[in-house]
Chain A
Amino acid sequence: MIDSMIELKNVSYTYPNGRRALDNVSFHAQHGEKVFVAGKTGSGKSTLLRILNGLIPGFYGGKLNGDVRVYGRKPGVKRVFFVSQHPEEQILCDRVIDEITFPLLQRGWSWRDAVSSAEEAAKRCGIEHLLERSTTGLSEGEKQLVVISAAMASDADCIVLDEPFSHLYPDIAGSILKKLLRTDRTVISSEHRLEMAEYFDRTFWLGNSGEMDSRVDSGIEEDLRVDREKVGREESSIVVEAEGLTAGYGEPVVHTSFEIAEGEIYAIVGPNGSGKTTLLKTIAGILKPIEGKIRVRGRVSMAFQYPNYHFSARSVEKEVSPEMLEVFGLTHLSNRHPHTLSGGEAKRVSIAKAFAGDVVLLDEPTAGQDYAFRSRFLRIARKTGKTVVIATHDLKLASMCDGVIELC
């Protein structure tokens, strides 16, 4: 019987560029234990998880001090399966079945056994219908399910997940998480949606504890309610108007009608593949409506899911106006190159940049963001007085908006 199998004692880590990511951190997990890792953006969650399967320092280099033992040995990829937060960057094969079987084949499994295990895992994740599909045409959420299926199909003793559910609709994320936690393997997962912690045996905090974050959150909810009441609506102030709108990439995906007044914040919600991004792109004028009309008054700007599309300058201060950097609390990043920022920081900079427009469209702005920012975000948006449309899986955020457009 294996016990107390994962242990980090007084671990400190510095990246090759000199950035210190972990400072004297100790962590342990028993075999079969389910641990939720929480912490603010930049607190070192991803670094900690990468240490567990040997990506740090094996792949990244840098200076690692302290003791790290995983199942009595040095960390390695054979016993720990790592799932990162960006599904697109984890897909190696063109067919879904090949993607799920790939790690198994690398470990010397026969094709027949690998396929059988892959089919079973795909069934548990509800993606058996995708097995023969090309990975190129999948949505971000579907890609994430494929990667999670690969983790489930693997024979690794421990599955480590770095914000694996940020692209998934809450219902789907919850159901997958329950299935994942039902296995007798060790599961260690980081996630900004703290409500998921209840499914785990315990929570490990990196940096500040969560109590402070929840207090901040409840206060802001109150503020937002008051702010919302102040916002009145006049017919003349309608800035986005969709009438019998049908949109899609050739095939119709979205059918909706709505009106958004100046200064209002609207959320677009719906399951994976329901057309949230498609609707945003139609409002932005990137896609033309298949049927119906869409009218937008003012300059539209948009923050895409992948923030790096927005950056071409050498420093953050050349990308975003000083006022917006101030409003979003990003002044400390002014001199950094935008492509060297962490995923969460890059996303915030791209959001701040999008606020240069009159009508601001944001695609999953809170995915991968810590609790404090998720709570602060709406207040900041309200403060700017701009019209904001948000496509999101974050139903709590949506409930605090002025209106919700539900897609199915």
Chain B
Amino acid sequence: MLKMLQEAEKILSPEFRGDARVVMVCTPALTLALYISSFRVEVSLLIMAIACMYAGLRALKAVIIASPFLAFFAASSLLLSDATHAATTTFGLASLVALGSVLAAIPPAELSCALVYFKVPYRFAFLVSLAVRMFRVYIRDLRQAMEAMKLSGERGVAIYAKLLKAMTSIAVLRSIAIAETLYSRGFSGKAECFCRRPSRFDYLVLLFSAIVLVYSLVLVSGMM
């Protein structure tokens, strides 16, 4: 578990070099494509490829970290349907996890600027980026709390109940402290946002995502 949290921290650390606006367009488009194609394997594969193009090994690491959840999902699907359906939906979900790692890698500042570009008020966009930053802080808190509890001799399932209690309090305390800082910095919703110019690679990903979406639509119309 501790190792998993360490890996999750690495995946969530912002190391993104693409255009946040492109990712924010492509991510829902690709998710929609997967949904309307009814989790077709080739669509999942294409999404996985796009995620790897953007996030590289991080995308695959995210899938590995999510593997216990994916295994649980696969087992549940198997109970409710046949093996083929369970395998394709699990693979589809894995591709969405990989796609999520691309979103998670966007630096919060670029995320808020991209939201402002899409006409979201800065006050709201900033709070979204702050929530993303705090999520990373909470993951680190969770790891450190777990380390502290293991050292104090806690073992087994009991540790998770204690962690839940500790993390609830820590999250509340951190939230109050952040709200205090926002107040004392005179947060008024004013900002300067700069979006980087999309590179050729970004345009290529945008085009590729559009093709996947169109392909899914064609599949659906073919089925009809």
A308 & B153 in contact (Cβ 8 Å cutoff): no
Name the residue of chain A whose CB is nearest to the CB of B179: A59
B152 & A105 in contact (Cβ 8 Å cutoff): no
Q: A302-B151, A308-B166, A309-B170 are in contact. Are A92 and B182 (CB under 8 A)?
A: yes
Within 8 A of B (CB), among A307-325: 308-312
- Cα–Cα, bound, A92→B187 (Å): 11
A310 & B152 in contact (Cβ 8 Å cutoff): yes
Residue of A90, A103, A308 near B186 (CB, 8 A) is A103
Asked if B192 lies at the interface with its beta carbon under 8 angstroms from chain A, I say yes
Q: A94-B107, A300-B151 are in contact. Are A59 and B166 (CB under 8 A)?
A: no
Q: A89-B178, A94-B133, A311-B166 are in contact. Are A286 and B186 (CB under 8 A)?
A: no
- Cα–Cα, bound, A58→B108 (Å): 29
B152 & A353 in contact (Cβ 8 Å cutoff): yes
Give per-residue flags for A161-195: 1 if the beta carbon is below 8 A from chain B beta carbons, else 0: 00000000000000000000000000000000000
B151 & A286 in contact (Cβ 8 Å cutoff): yes
B151 & A301 in contact (Cβ 8 Å cutoff): yes
Asked if B53 lies at the interface with its beta carbon under 8 angstroms from chain A, I say no
B-chain residues with CB within 8 Å of residue A357 when the two chains form the complex: 151
Q: In terms of DSSP, what is the predominant structure of the interface of chain A?
A: mixed
A312 & B162 in contact (Cβ 8 Å cutoff): yes
Of B21-29, B40-48, B87-95, B141-149, the segment with at least 4 beta carbons within 8 Å of chain A is: B141-149
A-chain residues with CB within 8 Å of residue B153 when the two chains form the complex: 299, 356
Q: A105-B192, A136-B14, A353-B152 are in contact. Are A86 and B183 (CB under 8 A)?
A: no
Residue of B136, B177, B186 near A89 (CB, 8 A) is B177
Residue of B144, B161, B170, B184 near A77 (CB, 8 A) is B184
Q: A82-B184, A136-B13, A137-B13 are in contact. Are A308 and B173 (CB under 8 A)?
A: yes
Name the residue of chain B whose CB is nearest to the CB of A303: B148
A106 & B181 in contact (Cβ 8 Å cutoff): no
- Cα–Cα, bound, A121→B192 (Å): 20
Residue of A78, A105, A306 near B191 (CB, 8 A) is A105
Q: In terms of DSSP, what is the predominant structure of the interface of chain B?
A: helix
Asked if B163 lies at the interface with its beta carbon under 8 angstroms from chain A, I say yes
B145 & A309 in contact (Cβ 8 Å cutoff): yes
Asked if A364 lies at the interface with its beta carbon under 8 angstroms from chain B, I say no
Q: Which bucket holds chain A's interface residue count? A: 35 or more
Within 8 A of B (CB), among A117-157: 134, 136-137
Residue of A58, A114, A299, A308 near B170 (CB, 8 A) is A308
Residue of B109, B137, B141 near A95 (CB, 8 A) is B109
Within 8 A of B (CB), among A64-80: 77-78
A-chain residues with CB within 8 Å of residue B137 when the two chains form the complex: 88, 136
- Cα–Cα, bound, A114→B185 (Å): 14
Asked if B130 lies at the interface with its beta carbon under 8 angstroms from chain A, I say yes
- Cα–Cα, bound, A111→B194 (Å): 10
- Cα–Cα, bound, A41→B183 (Å): 25
B-chain residues with CB within 8 Å of residue A13 when the two chains form the complex: none
Within 8 A of A (CB), among B171-224: 172-174, 177-188, 190-192
- Cα–Cα, bound, A269→B77 (Å): 55
Residue of B108, B148, B173 near A93 (CB, 8 A) is B108
Name the residue of chain B whose CB is nearest to the CB of A305: B144
Asked if A107 lies at the interface with its beta carbon under 8 angstroms from chain B, I say yes
Interface pairs A-B: 4 shortest CB-CB? A89-B177, A312-B162, A111-B192, A339-B169
Q: Could you list some 25 contacts between A and B, CB below 8 A?
A: A59-B179, A59-B184, A78-B186, A89-B180, A92-B178, A92-B185, A94-B133, A103-B185, A106-B186, A106-B187, A110-B192, A111-B192, A114-B192, A134-B107, A286-B2, A304-B144, A306-B141, A309-B147, A309-B148, A309-B166, A310-B152, A312-B162, A312-B163, A339-B169, A356-B152
